Amino acid sequence: MQAQHEQTHPSHALQSLQSLQALHPPDSAPAVLQMHLLGAPRLWWHGADLARTLPDKHQALLYVLGVEGQPVARTTLTRMLWSEWPDAAARANLRVALSQLRRVLPGALEIDARRVAFAGEGAAVVTDLEVLAQALQPGAPAACRLAGTRVWRGELLAAFGLADCDEFDRWCAVQRARAAGLALELQRGLMHASEAAGQSDAAMRHARALLQIDSADETAHMVLMRGLAAQGERTAALRQYAACAAALADQFGARPSSRCYALYVRIHADAVPTRAALFEPMPVPMH
């Protein structure tokens, strides 16, 4: 199935590209392949989105390389993309695909008899998934963490799939869960840090972004309940509890925790007299 793509310039999503370009003056800069893997995928090369013109399996091959971030065995690629073909035919299909990609992306691929990877020299590859992962590195600066929150446009390779490629589908499912987990971890950490610092607007912003990924995250609902109540929006805070209860029931057949219900009772009774009481920090999960 060919993915549908919206018109968006590549530089809007990949903040790290600016620092990469600064290292290379224009006359000496390598070509840059910008891979948007989060949301509907895009492959920007010399200002053109190759996802609009490349065959689906050629795209899929590049997506696997971009997500894995390391050399991938040729046998893995043939199994993922041409498993319905006999071995010899699958290997031939891979050779043809690699030959065509070499012509479209000169200098971007490093290919030997066993493995395929993006080249370390001659072309640079920047992915939004890498920006997200870098934001979670220990000691990442605040600007890096915020850049990580901005690249999330939806699930990994949204609306992209291949017919009769079960192995690729299974790989996508695993990688989509991994990418969503990274985004949740980042938003959750920023949400807790903002609330602990008394930055209620920022905490609520991160909570809403978190709920766009996981609508049943009770901690995010509670942050919004506390924030809305602190702003005097008692009715909205109670509606947030109702949304939390509905999401938990729908996804897990569960009810809100006793702690969440206790917060609801306090807000319903209008019995939370101080901002400090509302913004009692939630314990930060240990990973």
pLDDT, position 146: 92
State pLDDT tens for residues 198-235: 999 999 999 999 999 999 999 999 999 999 999 999 99
State pLDDT tens for residues 141-177: 999 999 999 999 999 999 999 999 999 999 999 999 9
Which residues are within 8 A (CB) of 32 and not within 5 positions of it... i.e. 6 or more apart?
17, 20, 21, 123, 124, 125, 126
Q: Which fold has domain 198-278?
A: 1.25.40
DSSP codes, 11-76: GGT-THHHHHHHTS-TTTPPEEEEEE-BSS-EEEETTEEGGGTS-HHHHHHHHHHHHH-S-EEHHH
Q: Whole-angstrom Cα distance, residue 199 to residue 261?
A: 24
Q: Which fold has domain 10-150?
A: Arc Repressor Mutant, subunit A (1.10.10)
State pLDDT tens for residues 221-279: 999 999 999 999 999 999 999 999 999 999 999 999 999 999 999 999 986 544 444 45
* Count of other CB atoms within 10 angstroms of residue 217: 20
Q: Whole-angstrom Cα distance, residue 223 to residue 281?
A: 9
Q: Whole-angstrom Cα distance, residue 33 to residue 118?
A: 10
DSSP 86: -
- Spatial strand order of the sheet with 48-49 comes to 48-49, 42-45, 31-36, 123-127
E strands present in the chain: 31-36, 42-45, 48-49, 72-73, 109-111, 115-118, 123-127
Domain ranges of the chain: 10-150, 198-278
What mean pLDDT, rounded, does the chain reach?
87
> Nearest 5°: CA angle at 182, between 178 and 186?
170
pLDDT, position 120: 73
| Integer-rounded Cα radius of gyration of the chain | 23
pTM of the model: 0.82
State pLDDT tens for residues 84-135: 999 999 999 999 999 999 999 998 999 999 999 998 755 689 999 999 999 9
The SS3 of residue 284 is coil
* Measured CA distances, 84 to 95, 166, 242 (Å): 16, 10, 48
